[in-house]
Amino acid sequence: MALSINFYDQYLLITGGTRGIGAAVAQEAIESGGHVVITGTASEPPAWLAECQQRFPAQQLGYEQLDLAADDWLARVDAIVAAYPAFSVLINNAGITRPSDIRDEELTEFAKVIQVNLTAPAMLSARVALGMTAQCYGRIVNISSVLGITSIKGRAAYSSTKTGIIGQTRSCALDFAPDGILINAVCPGFVATDMPRATLGEAGLQKLAQERIPLGRVAEPADLVAPILFLASSLNTYITGQTLVVDGGYVIW
């Protein structure tokens, strides 16, 4: 039997989908036939989305501005969910970090990381799952991190949320299972995207790869695409509440 990921006639919502892992996943989902809606904080969509729309005119592709740290974020979520047919797939990818020694942490900044990385995925899952329940089918993937399993200095807020999303995934799996909704978490390792480059620098990433990652390199966004989309697809029929670590062996070192 030939296995292939197919999102034909399915609507997918991918938060933080304009660049990095989110963009790589979104582009492959479009290639696989899906109607894909991405969110980001910029006022304009990324240029690649228009290019994809030209290539795949029969598919509905959308961009929605959504700042999960804003005061009106939940109202925006409700508006986005209402604007499209029921989503079959939700990928909670948006996230922020603010490196800081916990002794220097400001409450407002700590709370902002919690809101974006932990509270928002829970509410997004709850809202989108209503439509999934009606169609007795759904797939949700929460993007956690290896820093939810282990940690490094100055990441108390970020690690708290990434550990929390693993527990949230397990609990939601129990809530959603009777309605045919499968939810899982993926923990990327260190990926060559804007966030780790900003905090560790290019030299720091390469040093980390040589000293701590058995495969000897940091990941590219493309390394995360297949694991995420498998869990988000109809090929996944019996996996729920689980956490898949995609880190080049970082956590077993």
Which of the residues 8, 158, 238, 250 is marked catalytic? 158
In the Cβ-directed half-sphere of 201, how many Cα atoms lie within 13 Å? Answer: 3
Q: Does the active-site annotation cover 238?
A: no
The 3-state secondary structure of the chain, one letter per residue: CCCCCCCCCCEEEECCCCCHHHHHHHHHHHHCCCEEEEEECCCCCCHHHHHHHHHCCCCCCEEEECCCCCCCHHHHHHHHHHHCCCCCEEEECCCCCCCECHHHCCHHHHHHHHHHHHHHHHHHHHHHHHHHHHHCCEEEEEECCHHHCCCCCCEHHHHHHHHHHHHHHHHHHHHHHHHCEEEEEEEECCECCHHHHHHHHHHHHHHHHHHHCCCCCCECCHHHHHHHHHHHCCCCCCCCCCEEEECCCHHHC
Q: Which residues are catalytic?
A: 158
